[in-house]
Every structure is written in structure tokens, then in C-alpha cells.
Amino acid sequence: MGYAAPVKDMMFVLKELAGLDKVAQLPGFEEATPDLVEAILDEAGKFAGGVLAPLNFSGDREGAKWHDRAVTMPAGFKEAYTQFAEGGWTALDCHPEFGGQGLPRVVSSAVREMWKAANMAFSLCPLLTNGAIEALELCGSPEQKETYLPNMISGKWTGTMNLTEPQAGSDLAAIRTRAEPQGDGTYRIFGQKIFITYGEHDMAENIVHLVLARLPDAPEGVKGISLFVVPKYLINADGSLGERNDAWCVSIEHKLGIHASPTCVMAFGDHGGAIGTLVGKANEGLKYMFIMMNAARYAVGLEGLSLSERAYQQALAYARERVQGRAIEGSSAPVAIVRHPDIRRMLMTMKAQIEAMRALAYVVASAHDAAFHHPDEAERKRNQAFVDLMIPVVKGWLTETGNEIAYLGVQIHGGMGFIEETGAAQHLRDARITTIYEGTTGIQANDLIGRKIAREGGATLKAVVGLMQQTIAELDQAGAELAGLKGSLAKGVAAVAEAGTYIATNYAADVRAVAVGAVPFLKLMGIVSGGWMMARAALVARAKMAAGDADPFYPAKVATAVYYGAHILPAAAGLAEVIVGGGASALAIPEDQL
């Protein structure tokens, strides 16, 4: 049940597909040379495999425990977190001004993939802290930055995001938490928040809550939401910890998975008001949240990839070791089940999609780096448009696929997969939240077809389709071995183009029918984008082989890409059919006949 970070494939993707060399040419990223990056990944891999992975199963069994408004983490978590912070892992891509290491996002994403694969429940603590850090970096006052960022970046304090309320779910317009100005620049916060990840725990000395709330004179709906910073312990003028603030964890949820991650109900102001300060401008909270949301959605997408990799490693180890049944073509003795064609098919389905997801995720992270750091404005804009288009795909497709892969991981284990001690079922349980939090797949898909495609008439999508067609043209030159992949990728890209045109053309006139195809389109985009990535990977691998590189990694990469073309891409045309032809039939039945 261990985890070995797939550094080789990570480095391949970083260098050959995600343009690590170009990222290292961006201002501020000059130190991110391949050698340094590989050294970082090696170190992170050791920590992930050696410290975090062994706590994954025990953390699930034991779970976070709530007692008298405090949360006790499972055995080993506090010590692991201390080591994690001491190792500098909390500071990876944070701003150097406050102690961050300022590494590119494409590098920190690869490192984050490891934390999530090793121990998803643990990784949520630094994930949420990072979101809060980013919010304060972007929108905080100089004083707020000075007060909070150094300790958050060093890992001494952690952070949370308090959005959801019982009546609100993902509809932030319905938020009711109030913030009352005290006349001294501070506010008293009153309200209840739910689903607050790491809202309370015992791994760090303070917790910095970012809280959405309404000012007394705020307009209705999303235009009246402001963002506040509310620490668990108030901070004295000298930076030391002061009084306990009126922000309490009143219970934690009993969940399907990520048992070690406390999901808190937070009560603000039940005893006189939780003291906080306004972040940025009044009534601009939603805008700030949206800025962070891209990062959070991307990070959750990574969780789909990470759990897939973990499930794959475990299933592969089991398939190699478990001897059962004769070979289908006949064998003198029972064989390891990895020899059975259906087990092979499942393992290849896992492997091919994992490699495709990783490539897409890192390519998007690389574009994010360029969108923020490229000296040329047109390049920044172009990259930002690509990132904006792809974030819902990374979030939605990676997590949906992650669930399928964790499901296959259980299946490969047979009856043992259903026994909790085996550990395969945990990945399935943990994965189940990823298509839901930070916006369900449906919300991602509506964002994709509405804001990212229809609003701009499909312009960015068309540009991406153009890039995919360039890859198809390159495959055309690559001979018979890649002819099948070329054919299925070409069909897939045609399906994306057809469905994308349908969406851009019909969204305004018939939004309900078009929205029926939103999730199928998100999946189509994911499958075809993944095929595009695998095709690029195959072309690179073939070039390496042609240049005489005998590393067996390269022919395996080509074969995996061919598999992707033969097994994953064929679903594309059917999805386009559903999108273009399935709108009306989904809405036809009166609600009372459902």
C-alpha cells in the first residue's frame, strides 16, 4: 500500500510537454532548471512516500476526532505536519517577499500531485492554507500581509476558506453571515459556516479563517458579499498570539471518505462576535473568491490525478502478486492475474488516462505561469484564455476519471477490494468528494459552455482545436505505428469542433437544451485534450527513439498513447451525438412523471 512518486513521467511531462525550459525563462523563475526541479521532485517524493503515505490508511481508520469544540488529528499527523513545514513544503510557490520560494506553478503542481497521492486527507490542510495565502497576497492590506503571510507561508499557521452555509450550498448569493463594523477598523462576524475543511485541528498554533459575510448596508445577492480575515487566536501588536477569537468548531461531519480531514461546522460570533478585518474592498468578496477559485479548482482536479496514480500503483502491485486462474490461452499452472487480458485492459485504462491527465494538468499549470509572468501582454492574455477554458476541464474531467480509475482499482482486487483492510476501497471513498467540492462537475461544465465558450463565441476553443489539428498533422508524418491514434484523435477533434460550434451557436436561443450537454461536453473535451497530450507525448518519444535513445520508457509511452487512441478516444463521437442531439429528450417529461 505504499506510494512511489512517478518522478520519471513527471519530468518527461514537465520537460517535453509543459515547456519547463520556457517557464524557466520567465522573469523570476530563472532558478527552475531541470536539474533543480528534478532534485525537488526527488526530495518531495521521499517525503510523500516515506512520511505521508504510511499515514494514509491509519488516518482513514482513526479519523479526525471532535471533542468539546476541538479536533484531534489521527496519530502521526501533527508530527508529519511539523516535518512538512520544517521541510519548507508550505512555501513552495508563495511570494518570496514573505518567505516563499517563488517556484513556478508547474513545479509546485507536480509536488502537490505527490502530497495528494500520498495522503489526500493530509494534503487538504496545505491546500486550503495556500488558497488563503493567495487571497491575502492578492487582496490583503500591507498590514494584513505582514500580520499573516510570514506565519502562513512558513506553515506555522494554517488557513481556511469559509464560504458555504447550510441554506447556501454552492449558491453564494444566499449567504447570510453578518459583519458588523466596530468603528475601530474591525468587524464582529456572526453566522454559521459548513463544510469547512480543517476549520479546526491541532497541527498548528493558529488558524486563519477567510470568511464571506455581509455588511449591514450590503446589497442583496452576490454583489453584497465581503471577505474578512478572522483568526482563531487574535494577534497582538507584537505579532504574538492573543485572545481566543469567537470562532468555534461546533461539530465535524461523518463522511464517506477523507476521514482524517476534519470537515467542520464553524460557528462565528455565538459568544459576542468573532473579530475580523475586511480584506480588500467592501462587497467585492465574490470577485476575490473567483480569483482563488481557479487555483482551488485546479488543485482539486489534481486530486483526481493523484488518487488515480495511487490506485494504479496499488492495483498493479496486487495484479503482479496475486496468482489465480489459468491463462485464457491455456497454461500449465495458475498465473498472476496481470496476465489476464481484462486485468491488462483495466491497468492500461488506468495508466493511459493517468498519463494523459498528468500531461494536461501540467500544461495548464505552465500556461498559468506564462499568464502571470510572461513579459509580453499578448502572451499573457493568450495563456490566460487557455487556462480559463481548461480549468473546468481539469477540475471536472480529472476528478470524474479519477473516480472511474479508483473504481477499477477496487475491481482488479476482486473480493479483496471490498475489504477495507486492503486499502483499495479508501481511494474510491476519498475520490468521491472530488467531483463535488469546489463546484460540482455540473457547475464546472456550465462554466465551460457558458462563460468560457458561448460568451466569446467559441474563440479560444477554436484556437485550441487549431493546436490539436497541428498535432494531427504531425502524426500524419509519423507513419503506420501512429496511424490508428491519428485517426481516432482526428475523429475526436472533429467531435469537439462540432459540439463546440453547436454550443456557441445555440446557447443564447436554447440554453436549457444546450446545458443538458454540458457535462458530456466537458468529458468530451477532457478525453480529446488527453488524446492530444498523449499524441504529443508519442511524437516526442518516437523522436527520442529515432535519435537512438534505448530507454524502454519511450516505446512504452508510444504504446500507451496508441492504447489511448484505441480505447479512450472512440467514446468521443458518441458524446458529440449526445450533446448535439440529446437536449430536448432530457427535458421532455413533466416533472411529476420523473
Give the residue numbers marked as catalytic: 438
Q: Under the criterion CB under 8 A, does residue 545 sit at the interface with its own copies?
A: no
Residue among 69, 512, 543, 549 that touches its own copies (CB under 8 A): 512
Collapsing DSSP states into helix, strand and coil, what is residue 575? helix
* Pick from 536, 537, 534, 543: nearest CA to 566: 534
Return the sign of the alpha-carbon dihedral for residues 465, 18, 344, 398.
negative
Q: Under the criterion CB under 8 A, does residue 216 sit at the interface with its own copies?
A: no
Return the sign of the alpha-carbon dihedral for residues 405, 407, 413, 419.
positive
Strand 241-244 versus strand 233-235 pairing type: antiparallel
Q: For its own copies, which stretch binds (CB under 8 A), given 5-13, 197-205, 505-513, 538-546? A: 505-513
In the complex, the smallest distance separating the C-beta of residue 414 from its own copies, rounded to whole angstroms, is: 6
- Identity at 185, one-letter amino acid code: G
- CA gap 147, 141 in Å, rounded: 10
In the complex, the smallest distance separating the C-beta of residue 165 from its own copies, rounded to whole angstroms, is: 11
Q: Under the criterion CB under 8 A, does residue 358 sit at the interface with its own copies?
A: no
In the complex, the smallest distance separating the C-beta of residue 64 from its own copies, rounded to whole angstroms, is: 14
Instruction: Pick out residues in 306-325 that bind its own copies (CB under 8 A).
Output: 316, 320, 322, 324-325
Q: String of b and e for 230-239 (b: at least 16 CB within 10 Å)?
A: bbbbbbeeee
Contact between 212 and 170 (Cβ < 8 Å): no
Q: Under the criterion CB under 8 A, does residue 58 sit at the interface with its own copies?
A: no
Q: How far out from the chain centre does Cα 21 lie? A: 24
Which residues, 6+ apart, have CB-to-CB distance to 552 below 8 Å?
Answer: none
Which residues, 6+ apart, have CB-to-CB distance to 184 below 8 Å?
Answer: none
In the complex, the smallest distance separating the C-beta of residue 146 from its own copies, rounded to whole angstroms, is: 35
Q: String of b and e for 71-93 (b: at least 16 CB within 10 Å)?
A: bbbbebbeebbeebbeeebbbbb
> Which lies closer to its own copies via its Cβ, residue 91 or residue 572?
572
> Which lies closer to its own copies via its Cβ, residue 240 or residue 332?
332
Q: List the grid coordinates of 295.
A: 487555483
In the complex, the smallest distance separating the C-beta of residue 558 from its own copies, rounded to whole angstroms, is: 9
> Which lies closer to its own copies via its Cβ, residue 241 or residue 513?
513
Q: For its own copies, which stretch binds (CB under 8 A), given 100-108, 251-259, 363-371, 378-386? A: 251-259
Q: Under the criterion CB under 8 A, does residue 332 sit at the interface with its own copies?
A: no
Instruction: Pick out residues in 121-150 that bind its own copies (CB under 8 A).
Output: none
Instruction: Pick out residues in 167-196 that bind its own copies (CB under 8 A).
Output: 168-171, 173-174, 195
Residues 446-485: x/- map of binding to its own copies (CB under 8 A)? x---x---------------------------------x-
> Which lies closer to its own copies via its Cβ, residue 204 or residue 266?
266
Residues 418-447: x/- map of binding to its own copies (CB under 8 A)? xxxx---x--xx--xx-xxx--xxx--xx-
